[in-house]
Amino acid sequence: MDEIGNPLDSHIRPPIVTVSGLSKRYGSVIALDDVAFSIHRGEILGLIGPNGAGKTTLFECVAGVQPADRGTVVFGTGYETARRGDVLFYLPDGIAPWPDQSVEWALKFFLDFFGGRRDLVDDMINRLDIAPLRRKRIGALSQGQRKRALLAMGLLTPQPVLLIDEPFEGLDLRQSREAAKTLRWHASLGRTLFLSIHQIMDAGHVCDRFVLLSGGRVGGEGTADELASLAGSRPGVTAPADFEEIFLALT
Amino acid sequence: MRLRSHPWPQLVRKEWRELLSSRAWWVMIFLVGPLVGVSFIGAVRTYAEASGLGGASAGVGEAFSPLDGIWAPTFVAYEIAATFLLPFVAIRLVAGDRQSGALKLEGQGPMSPFSRMGAKALVLFGGWCLAGFPALVAGILWKTYGGSAYPPELASVALGHLLNAGLTIALAIAIASIAENPSTAAILVLSFTVGTWILGFIASLRGGMWELIAKFTPAAMLDKFQHGLIPLGTSLVALVFIAVSLGIASLWIRLGVSTRRRAFESAGLVAAAAALVVACAFVHPSWDVSENRRHSFPEADQEALARIQGPLHIEAHLAPEDPRRSDLEHQALSKLRRAMPSVEVRYVSATSIGLFEQTSAGYGEVWYELGGKRAMNRLTTEEAVLETIYGLAGITPPKETEPSFAGHPLIASPRGAAVVFFGLWPAIVAGFGVFVFRRRT
């Protein structure tokens, strides 16, 4: 079975998270400005933007880690609304939780405390090459090792939507590809993934749809083809050749 | 179908592992042994001297109680540890989560912030109880020397220190939850402790409202327990303070809530707590568990006083720093408040030391008013106070039937204590510490 799925038609999948009018300021700095988009069930949605675009702030506002100044985040299909904690789990970037504990303990804690999926543990350990790290302290891991361990923990959580901030940060090329394959495989099991990625080429490999964010504003939302059409319709822009050109044209 | 155990025990287990990984906790456990050792060895030697060691007068030792001579000074080690070591252990456990990013993960878990803070407090309290082991060893050593131990007194001292530790833990957790930086939290916790000491000092100079507030500081609370008195009102105030501190910590540890809202909610919680503390100030019952019943009049007097109807008003013209005021308070009035249903005491003075009031008319007088009758007595002894009250109530003083407390003098040297507290304890703790850390790495 091909693990790289086809781009999804967002129109036939109901939104599981709907964000509208989300704004956030830090003093005089506008981090998010009237952001609106939807996450559809079963898709891998990529939040693409350069450093400082507001990706992490957007993730934290959607996940409820930070309060937004304005806007709404609705969880559910429109017919039913659900509690945030029942719908999504957010895996931040740049953290080293429980640095004195072993990776093995942390995986078990995720299973026991967050009610993680035990049936996926062996797969995660194999796919993300966690076995050699199991007895190591989280605080003693390299950045790439820690990222893989955290990805495994996040992917074990039971919520239908998983937000991962920079899933490929700190990973080398081979590890990034393995992680991307693991994410696609995970989505094929029915999980909805929302990934924040600043490397545009990485995003192109793994995501079904994209939200382009620049300067706290959404520059476009859709599949690569939809975004290419949108970029092509802009005055003075010829048909963009690749995803980087699409991004530059729309942001 | 996914089956899983309840997350609360998982959380407690996790906090326990974090505590065991904390060098601050191991340092505290390591140091508590020598601290208790210094206190205990000094106390045993002093007790022996007071009991007549080396041909000294045995008169003092005859009235000596192990509560004053051994337990209170030995447990001072825990007051020091609770002030200067325990806050750092508690701050580390809370601030560590914030700094490592674990807070963002755990905040998305199934437990409420209050449950999470409760788990931390519970584990810290358990960790503190383990630090109590040297005190247990001191008790065993004292018994092997032939010393006397009155369990209710010991329980009172231990309970006071447990409450004090609970206050420290709750305060440190609350401040560590509010402050972004652990160093800031440490400074704030120590400032609070020093602040309560300053409050106690001001109260001893100024009296009045200061004195009333200072009654509820941890040091004042501990003082009562260390003297064999278990005051319900003060204990309730401590429990309210602990609950409110954990409540404030839960408000500040939440994710996705603005600082302004947290501040408003905290202010509301503090206001509710203040109302509860005021209510607790009117809760007067207390239990005198001292072997020599130092906080009570003789049984016959207690019964006679309890039968007196109507409020008793006492107006003492004595300055806060006048030693006679301290005598009156400790020898008579504190007992009177426990014995009589309604006693109102008012101190009157123009200065704090009273030195320049001595020549003023009326200074030094203690006025008693009961059932419309008034009487004055300048004496501040227990006997004089009781005699005046019985006179106003028209009661014949009951005959004293209780034998006076004989005391438990003991001339003993602290054999083996130095080896246990300065050698064995640090070695055992260091050994366990190395074992635990090696297993983790």
Are B58 and B52 in contact by the 8 Å Cβ rule? The answer is yes
Pairing mode, strands A15-26 and A70-75: antiparallel
Q: Residue B169's pLDDT is what?
A: 97
> What is the maximum span of chain A, computed from C-alpha positions, in angstroms?
57
Chain A contact set for B22 (CB, 8 A):
100
Of the candidates B361, B394, B393, B390, the residue with the CA atom closest to the CA atom of residue B378: B361
Tens digits of residue pLDDT in B344-379: 999 988 887 777 777 777 899 999 999 889 999 999
Mark which residues 401-440 of B lie under 8 Å from A by CB. 440
> What average pLDDT does range B85-107 have in this prediction?
95
Q: Residue A2's pLDDT is what?
A: 36
Residue A72's CATH number: 3.40.50.300
B108·A102 Cβ contact <8 A: no
> What average pLDDT does range B130-145 have in this prediction?
97
Tens digits of residue pLDDT in A15-73: 899 999 999 999 999 999 999 999 999 999 999 988 889 999 999 999 999 999 999 99
Q: Residue A6's pLDDT is what?
A: 46
Helix (H) or strand (E) holding B147, with range, is none
Nearest to A90 among B97, B108, B261 (CB): B108
Range of the domain at A67: 15-95+159-250
A135 assigned to some structural domain: no
The ipTM estimated for the assembled molecules is: 0.90
Residue extents of the structural domains in chain B: 7-288+408-440, 299-393
A121 assigned to some structural domain: no
Tens digits of residue pLDDT in A167-190: 999 999 899 999 999 999 999 999
> What average pLDDT does range B205-215 have in this prediction?
81
Percent of chain A having pLDDT more than 70?
Answer: 91
Are B147 and B412 in contact by the 8 Å Cβ rule? The answer is yes
Chain B contact set for A60 (CB, 8 A):
256
Name residues whose C-beta falls within 8 Å of residue A239's C-beta, 6 or more positions apart in sequence.
A228, A232
Least confident of B151-165, B328-342, B389-403: B389-403
Nearest to A97 among B7, B17, B100 (CB): B100
Name residues whose C-beta falls within 8 Å of residue A213's C-beta, 6 or more positions apart in sequence.
A35, A47, A48, A49, A53, A54, A55, A58, A219, A251
Of the candidates B378, B347, B364, B380, the residue with the CA atom closest to the CA atom of residue B204: B347
A62 assigned to some structural domain: yes
B258·A67 Cβ contact <8 A: yes
Structure tokens at A1: 């079975």
B256 phi and psi angles, rounded to 5 deg: 75, 25
Query: How far does the CA of residue A241 sit from the closest CA of chain B (Å)?
Result: 40
With 50 as the cut, is the pLDDT of residue A3 above it?
no
A228 assigned to some structural domain: yes
Q: Residue B162's pLDDT is what?
A: 96
Torsion angle of C-alpha atoms B220, B226, B232, B233, degrees rounded to 10: 0
DSSP secondary structure letter of residue A175: H
Domain count, chain A: 1
* Average pLDDT of every residue of chain B: 90
What is the rounded CA–CA span in Å between residue A140 and residue A153?
17
Of the candidates B320, B370, B309, the residue with the CA atom closest to the CA atom of residue B347: B320
Determine which of A109, A119, A134, A169 to mutate to test the interface with B (most B C-beta atoms within 10 Å): A109
B399 vs A154: which has the higher pLDDT: A154
Beta bridge partners of A193: A44, A162
> Does domain B299-393 match CATH 3.10.310.40?
no
Q: Residue A4's pLDDT is what?
A: 38
- Grade residue B63 by pLDDT with cuts at 50, 70 and 90: low
Please, what is the end-to-end C-alpha distance for chain A in angstroms? 36
Q: What is the CA radius of gyration of chain B?
A: 25
Q: Residue A241's pLDDT is what?
A: 66
Which whole-number Å values give the CA distances from A69 to A51, A57, A72, A73, in the listed order?
22, 12, 10, 12
A186 assigned to some structural domain: yes
Residue B115 near chain A (CB below 8 Å): no
Are B155 and B415 in contact by the 8 Å Cβ rule? The answer is no
What is the rounded CA–CA span in Å between residue B94 and residue B108?
16
